[in-house]
Amino acid sequence: MADQQFRWKGEFPKIGIRPTIDGRRRGVRESLEDQTMNMAKGVAKLLSDNLRYPDGSPVQCVIADSTIGGVAESAAAASKFSKENVGVSITVTPCWCYGTETMDMDPSIPKAIWGFNGTERPGAVYLAAVLSAHAQKGLPAFGIYGHDVQDAGSTEVPEDVREKLLGFARAGLAAAMMKGKSYLAMGSVSMGIAGSIVSDSFFQEYLGMRTEYIDMSEFVRRINENIYDPVEYEKAFAWVKKNCIEGPDINAESIQSSRAKKDQDWETVVKMTIIARDLMIGNPRLAELGFGEEANGHNAIVSGFQGQRQWTDHFPNGDFMETILNSSFDWNGIRSPYMVATENDSLNGVVMLFGHLLTNTAQIFADVRTYWSPESVERVTGHKLTGEAANGILHLLNSGSATMDGTGEQTKDGKPVMKPFWEITEEDAQKCLDATSWRPANVEYFRGGGYSSDFLTRGGMPLTMSRLNLVKGIGPVLQIAEGYSVDLPPEVHDTLDKRTDQTWPTTWFAPVITGKGAFKNVYDVMDNWGANHGSISYGHIGADLITLASILRIPVSMHNVPEEKVFRPRAWGLFGTDNPESADYRACQNFGPLYK
- What's the chain's Rg over C-alpha atoms? 25
Q: Name the nearest CA neighbour of 451 among 252, 251, 189, 276.
A: 251
Percent residues over pLDDT 90 in the chain: 93
How does pLDDT run across 40-57, given as a tens digit for each residue? 999 999 999 999 999 999
Residues belonging to the binding site are 343, 367, 533
CATH of domain 14-178: 3.40.50.1070
* Residue 489, number of CB atoms within 10 A of its CB: 10
- CA-nearest of 289, 261, 293, 294 to 279 is 294
Question: Helix 490-497 crosses helix 374-381 at what angle (to 10 degrees)?
Answer: 100
Contact 346, 64 (CB under 8 A): no
Cβ 17 vs Cβ 39: under 8 Å: no
Tell me what pLDDT residue 199 has: 97
Q: Is the pLDDT of residue 343 over 50?
A: yes
- Supply the angle between the helices 259-281 and 217-224 in degrees, to the nearest 10: 110
Cα torsion at 132, 172, 410, 427 (round to 10°)? -150
Question: Is 545 within 8 Å of 480 (Cβ atoms)?
Answer: yes
Residue 211 has, within 13 A of its CA and on its CB side, a CA count of 22
Q: Which neighbouring-strand residues pair with 507? A: 396
Per DSSP, the chain holds a count of helices (H) and strands (E) of 19, 23
- Residue of 278, 272, 268, 348 lying closest to 535 (CA atoms): 348
Q: Among 69-83, 141-155, 471-485, where is mean pLDDT lowest?
A: 141-155
pLDDT digits (tens, 9 = 90+) for 307-329: 999 999 999 999 999 999 999 99
Q: pLDDT class for 117, splitting at 50, 70, 90?
A: confident
- Cis amide prior to 309 (ω within 30 degrees): yes
Contact 334, 328 (CB under 8 A): yes
- Lowest average pLDDT, out of 21-30, 273-282, 312-321, goes to 21-30
Sign of CA dihedral 345, 346, 347, 350: positive
Residues in contact with 92: Cβ distance below 8 Å, sequence separation at least 6, in sequence order = 17, 18, 19, 20, 36, 39, 40, 43, 113, 114, 116
Q: So what's the pLDDT on residue 118?
A: 77
Cβ-defined contacts of 21-25 (< 8 Å, 24+) = 21/67, 21/68, 21/69, 21/93, 21/95, 21/97, 22/69, 22/95, 22/96, 22/97, 22/121, 23/69, 23/70, 23/97, 23/98, 23/101
pLDDT at 5 over 60: no
Which residues on neighbouring strands pair with residue 340, listed in sequence order? Answer: 303
Q: Do residues 144 and 89 touch, judged by C-beta distance below 8 A?
A: no
Q: What is the mean pLDDT of residues 477-502?
A: 96
Catalytic residue positions?
343, 367
User: Distance between CA atoms of 220 and 379, rounded to whole angstroms?
Assistant: 49
CATH topology of domain 182-591: L-fucose Isomerase; Chain A, domain 3 (3.20.14)
Please check the confidence at residue 297 and state whether its pLDDT lies above 60.
Answer: yes
Q: What is the mean pLDDT of residues 477-488?
A: 98
Q: How many CB atoms lie within 10 A of CB 585?
A: 17
Q: How many CB atoms lie within 10 A of CB 412?
A: 11
With contact defined as beta carbons under 8 Å apart, do 42 and 157 qualify? yes
pLDDT per position as a tens digit, 524-542? 999 999 999 999 999 999 9
The whole-number pLDDT of residue 400 equals 86
Are 505 and 337 in contact, with CB atoms under 8 Å apart?
A: no
Residue 4: per-residue pLDDT: 54
Phi, psi of 399 (to 5 degrees): -70, 60
Res. 2: pLDDT tops 70: no
Residues of the chain with pLDDT > 70, as a percent, come to 99
Q: Are 55 and 338 contacting, i.e. CB atoms less than 8 angstroms apart?
A: no
Residue type, 126: Y
Sorted by where each begins, the domain ranges of the chain are 14-178, 182-591
CA 197-198-200 angle, 5° bins: 135
What is the per-residue pLDDT across 149-206, written as a single tens digit (0 to 9) for each?
Answer: 887 777 788 999 999 999 999 999 999 999 999 999 999 999 999 999 999 999 999 9
> What does the pLDDT read at residue 123?
79
Instruction: At 48, give phi and psi (nearest 5°).
Output: -70, -30
How big is the CA angle at 373 (ends 370 and 375), to the nearest 5 degrees?
Answer: 140
Q: Residue 1: pLDDT above 50?
A: no
First and final C-alpha spacing in the chain: 38
Q: How far apart are CA 161 and CA 154, in angstroms?
A: 14
Closest by CA position to 440, among listed 268, 552, 316, 322: 316
Binding region for Mn(2+): 343, 367, 533
For residues 460-468, average pLDDT: 98
Q: How far apart are CA 113 and CA 50, in angstroms?
A: 19
In 3D space, the residue among 42, 31, 49 whose CA is nearest the CA of residue 95 turns out to be 31
Q: Are 549 and 377 in contact (CB under 8 A)?
A: no
Work out whether strand 533-538 and strand 506-511 pair parallel, antiparallel, or are unpaired: unpaired
How many other CB atoms are found less than 10 A from the CB of residue 256? Answer: 15
Mean pLDDT score across all residues of the chain: 96
Cα distance between residue 68 and residue 81, in whole Å = 14
Q: What is the pLDDT of residue 47?
A: 98
